[in-house]
Structure 1
Amino acid sequence: MSDVISTVADAPATDAKGSSDAARIAEVKAWLASQFDAAGKDVPDFEYTHRSVAHLYNLATVSQAKTQAANIVANDFRQKAAEYRSQAARIREILENVGLAQETLPSNVVSSAQVLANVANLLNIRDTELSSFLVAMGDISLRKTGVEEKRAKVQKESKILLDYTRKAIQRLTYLKRTLAQLEDDVAPCEAQMENWKTNLAVMASKERQYLQQYNNYKALLNRVGYTPEINHGVLVEMAEHRKDLEKKTKPILDTLRSYQDLPPDKALAALAIEDKKRQYAAAEKYLEDVLQSALATSD
């Protein structure tokens, strides 16, 4: 039945021209009834649509064609069987006429003939000629050689596959052991990862804090007029020159303080003030020259 269905699936849908839908439905019903009657079952109820009728009609056509072909083959087999029976009866009659009937032959001859016939059937030969046996034995020998070669090849492939299987089992065992080790290391690694995650969050917070402080300091330096030329070495050098200037100006300041204790003399005081102003201007000029030289040296 599956062969019939597959053949129907492959066969193109045929539409009998000139036949009405009623005739096709009647033919389909008759075919279904015959098929289900042969199986001892009733035809199930279903709706006869155009699609179902077309499909069943194609199925019935293919089934009838296959049934007809099977009947032809069966008739041919029956005809051949009748011919074989007729030939067997004729051969039996000939053997009986010459005194070689099976009933009159010794049992060992009958057994040998039966063995010979069985061997002939096994070797698939139509007669019992020696040449036929030799050809059949040669063919079997060739087949045996081919089978042995295939067997050797299969054994070689089986050995290779067995080797591959052993290696695969070893690798699988190693992978299972590695997997178990990794599963054991999951909990410590997860704890360490959580610790790293916490530290990373703290470091990110610190980074934001430091960046904010850096921006604040940078803004402060911009407000006070800091330039990259004023580095630590320049400031140290300027501090040293400031100390030298303080040492040089300290006697002048002490002298000025001593003048504060003198009785007021406007003319002398004016002269003294003018002298100190000149000294102070000279000191400022010297400090400015020193600063300029220090900046030029740093550049």
Structure 2
Amino acid sequence: MSDQDALLTESKSSSDASRIGEVKEWLAKTFEAAGKPVPEFEYTPRSIAHLYNLLTVSKAKDEAARLVARDFRLKAAEYRSQAARIREILENAGLAQEGLPSNVVASAQVLANVANLLNIRDTELSSFLVAMGDISLRKTGVEEKRAKVQKESKILLDYTRKAISRLTYLKRTLAQLEDEVAACEGQMENWKTNLQVMAAKERQYLQQSANYKAVLNRVGYTPEISHGVLVEMAEHRKELDKQTKPILDTLRSYQDLPPDKALAALAIEDKKRQYAAAEKYLEDVLHSALESGE
């Protein structure tokens, strides 16, 4: 440790010791004035710092009180001196209090009391008028503030009533909701069960849809084979049946004819051509139906 640090440590220790001495002396005087012993406590740096601050503030306030008291004593002495001078003047003028009638003394006392009440230095009429005007202004201000406070109180009372009404409504609603909790919980359990059933059905339907798609893929189903295309093909098939029925009837009628090989061959060839033309017409219709479906 350097010499400077040693000096600082020694100075701090002496300062702490001085503070402790001042605090002990102040505590002893304070509690002695109150007629009570100083309580036992541990002198720690924190407690010493706090008590030293209180000591400083107390000394400052005591000094201020002494100055104010001295000023009051000086003013009181001045007032006594002035009162003695005024009394002497009144006695010389024959207006001493002992020589005045009792009603005059009482009136003067009342006048002095009113002057003290109005906080004026003299009993001049102008001073009374100014004081009364000041009181009237204060009264008007107080009345205005009172009216404002009453208005605000009325508004707050209205708000309070509304708040109480809303609170009552909320409490009633809360009680109603609490009563409905059991029923709602039962309904929620029912919905939960139904949801689980629907989820199981959904999985089942998805599996069935996948199976149906696999079956359609195996049989060669394509999106071009729609219901409309099938209906149109059925209608064309009916039309083709109508066209081929007379030919079949004609062929059946040939079975009753006497056998003639040459005529029969010609008839058969003619019917084959008609049948081939009908098949070609059916293929053309199917192709056109598929192209229109796409």
Same fold flag (TM > 0.5):
yes
C-alpha displacement of 1:191 = 2.6
Residue equivalent to 2:37: 41
* Cα distance per residue 1:178-232 (max 9 Å; x no partner): 4444444433333322222221221122112211221222233223322101123
How high is the sequence identity, in percent, across the aligned residues?
79
What letter matches 2:149 in structure 1? V
C-alpha displacement of 1:237 = 5.5
Residue 191 of structure 1, aligned match among 186, 191, 210:
186
C-alpha displacement of 1:125 = 0.3
1:30 aligns with 2:13: no
C-alpha displacement of 1:106 = 2.9
Residue equivalent to 1:61: 56
Residue equivalent to 1:211: 206
Residue equivalent to 2:262: none
What is the rounded CA distance, in whole Å, between the counterparts of 1:232 and 1:62 in structure 2?
Answer: 105
What is the rounded CA distance, in whole Å, between the counterparts of 1:127 and 1:207 in structure 2?
Answer: 104
What letter matches 1:205 in structure 2? A
* Cα distance per residue 1:126-184 (max 9 Å; x no partner): 11011111111111122222223333333333444444444444444444444444444
Task: Spell out the pairing of 1:35-114 with structure 2 (5 A cutoff).
Answer: 35-39=30-34, 40-49=36-45, 51-114=46-109
Residue equivalent to 1:133: 128
Residue 150 of structure 2, aligned match among 143, 148, 155:
155
**Can you give the 5+ residue segments of structure 2 that lack an aligned partner in the other structure?**
1-10, 253-268
Aligned residue pairs total: 260
C-alpha displacement of 1:242 = 7.5
2:233/2:286 contact within 8 Å kept: yes
Distance 1:17 1:74, change over 3 A: farther
2:97/2:105 contact within 8 Å kept: yes
1:36/1:43 contact within 8 Å kept: no
C-alpha displacement of 1:120 = 0.5
**Can you give the 5+ residue segments of structure 1 that lack an aligned partner in the other structure?**
1-15, 256-274
C-alpha displacement of 1:43 = 3.8
TM-score of the two chains, using structure 1 as the length reference: 0.69
Distance 1:148 1:34, change over 3 A: same
What is the rounded CA distance, in whole Å, between the counterparts of 1:233 and 1:90 in structure 2?
Answer: 135
What is the rounded CA distance, in whole Å, between the counterparts of 2:58 and 2:279 in structure 1?
Answer: 127
